[in-house]
Chain A
């Protein structure tokens, strides 16, 4: 009887140790995944930021003006050349 109890206790102890190790491994695994995702998010945010900067760089008013005047032969508008038209409903 005593032998069985002692064996049972030892086995359950070993089992608990393995469960604990497994739980700890799971924690590390998820923690690692979390950090990996955090890093990916960080990288994506940097990419987004760079793309946004490029987008606004392309929209720079001086660049747009130079392009419009040099390539599209556009000229500044005169107030006298504009007329407000009101369409009947």
Chain B
């Protein structure tokens, strides 16, 4: 056999090339078929950019479709600490103008993203632009704009992430925010703005606008009047509620002190909606419900003569009872009209534990169905916990703590001739609130009570609320506040006036409240009654209820 070295070399070369091709095809097989899904995923990772798009937050409107919360864009400033171009410039700048960002920068010097400040003010934007710092970048972020500042404690605000933090913004957060859309964008390797294809992963849902029962003009008018009174008296707090007793719609809900929802909050206490989040012992205004209980239980009648002993101070059932004015023998109707504590104490003793039952049936001591965050349920001292003076205290509005909204709802029940009312604040989407149809008090009892309250306006403590041509019924209350030692301080008072105005089919309940005044020896008749009168007058003009 002859040896052909050239042929052998060719065969060897052939096998080398063959093995090379084998390796190549094996690799091709591995990449294209065996590990196809792995490399496809890798490729998609590089070219596919997942994007989450949040729908714009839905708006909040008043009952006339005037917006109470709008959307706006704010600018936030950020840096990339790991890639600072001019660290010698940025560090002194932050130290001087944004010191809060410095500890974060020192703790995370290699971070790939860091906010300097979110929701920059106009001045801050100007300052950053003026300094021309290459490291500071701007980011547009959605935020809220509230055209009616007086609704701050009610409508609430959103946080830096546009999530509801309080009020309606928190209560209806899911509804307003909607759900985000997630998609995968196929981009080039540079991941520029332009994309080739868009793959929808999950289609989001737009937020639903919320329509409140509020009437922004009434809200503003009531707010201005409460604010003015507070400034005159240097009061600590003030509030006003206007409700339609026929359907429970809240038309105005003013709570002061308040805050500017378009500016950073300096005091969290101001964000509280005191009409639902604070409970008070309202004093004589509660005598309305004592009268209601007494008339319903028939323990007295309008014309019964009650001996008020013609003294300012006396002892009833071993309990000291004070009254600012001495009254002699007066009718039960006059006892309530003149707000005589000695007379009401005697009636309370006749009622006994039934007084508690009536207070509870008037919705005190339980949350209203408004279900707003922060609502308090209040407290009515139950008979099991009563001491000897308890029924007497309860008769003139102590040992019973309630929110202004509860008081307003209870007065709505009276204005509605004994039919209770559930307060309604959200008009749309429909909350499917069914107003109770069961009557709590019969017509005879209600007629008697209404006549007392009418006389309170024409002859009694609320006589200043009288407006010619309109039927106004009201009751006032001046109550002492507890001091830090738990004693009632006669110089620290709260003043309340609950009134309802009627003309034909038109009915409105107005409750006003002032906490503390810089004057001594003053009563609700000189503080909250004029305030209620002014609000009612403005309301009647605004709603065209003119003689």
Contacts and interface: CB of A to CB of B under 8 A. Distances in A.
A22 interface: no
Interface string B211-228: 000001100100010000
Interface string A50-89: 1011001101111001000000000011110011100000
B346 to A, nearest CB: 40
Contact of A79 (B193, B196, B546): B546
A64 B539 CA distance: 18
B58 to A, nearest CB: 13
Chain B interface helix/strand/loop/mixed: mixed
B541 A79 contact: yes
A67 to B, nearest CB: 14
Interface in A30-63: 31-32, 35, 46, 49-50, 52-53, 56-57, 59-62
Contact of A56 (B70, B467, B547): B70
Contact of A35 (B194, B216, B537): B194
A79 B540 contact: yes
A46 B537 CA distance: 41
Contact of A50 (B72, B194, B195, B541): B72
Contact of B147 (A32, A49, A60): A60
Given A28-B196, A77-B541, A79-B540, A57 B147 contact: yes
B147 A59 contact: yes
Nearest to B540: A79
Given A35-B194, A61-B217, A82-B546, A56 B67 contact: yes
Contacts of A56: 67, 70, 145, 147
Contacts of A32: 194
Interface residues of A, number: 23
Interface in B40-94: 67, 70-73
Contacts of A49: 70-73
A78 B537 CA distance: 7
Nearest to A39: B193
Contacts, number: 51
Contact of A61 (B148, B196, B541): B148
Interface in B525-547: 537-538, 540-541, 546-547
A46 B467 contact: no
Interface string B360-372: 0000000000000
Contacts of A53: 70, 72, 145
B147 A83 contact: no
B224 A65 contact: yes
A82 B540 CA distance: 11
Given A53-B72, A61-B148, A35 B547 contact: no
Contacts of B224: 65
Contact of A83 (B197, B217, B546): B546
A76 B538 contact: yes
B206 interface: no
Nearest to A81: B541
A84 B540 CA distance: 12
B288 to A, nearest CB: 26
B278 interface: no
A32 B195 CA distance: 8
B233 to A, nearest CB: 19
B546 A84 contact: yes
B546 to A, nearest CB: 4
Contacts of A77: 541
Contacts of B73: 46, 49-50
B535 to A, nearest CB: 12
B260 to A, nearest CB: 11
Contacts of A60: 147-149
Given A28-B196, A65-B224, A84 B70 contact: no
Nearest to B217: A61
Contacts of A84: 546-547
B92 to A, nearest CB: 34
A62 B194 contact: no
Contacts of A61: 148, 216-217, 220
A31 to B, nearest CB: 7
Nearest to A45: B56
Contacts of A57: 145, 147
Contacts of A62: 149, 220
Contact of B195 (A35, A76, A78): A35
Interface of B: 67, 70-73, 145, 147-149, 193-197, 216-217, 220, 224, 467, 537-538, 540-541, 546-547
Given A28-B196, A61-B216, 16 more contacts: A49-B71, A49-B72, A49-B73, A52-B70, A53-B70, A56-B147, A57-B147, A59-B147, A60-B148, A61-B220, A65-B224, A79-B537, A79-B540, A82-B546, A83-B547, A84-B546
5 closest pairs, A vs B, by CB?
Answer: A56-B147, A61-B220, A84-B546, A79-B537, A82-B546
15 contacts: A31-B196, A35-B195, A49-B70, A49-B71, A49-B72, A57-B145, A57-B147, A60-B148, A61-B148, A77-B541, A78-B537, A79-B540, A79-B541, A82-B547, A83-B547
Interface of A: 28, 31-32, 35, 46, 49-50, 52-53, 56-57, 59-62, 65, 76-79, 82-84
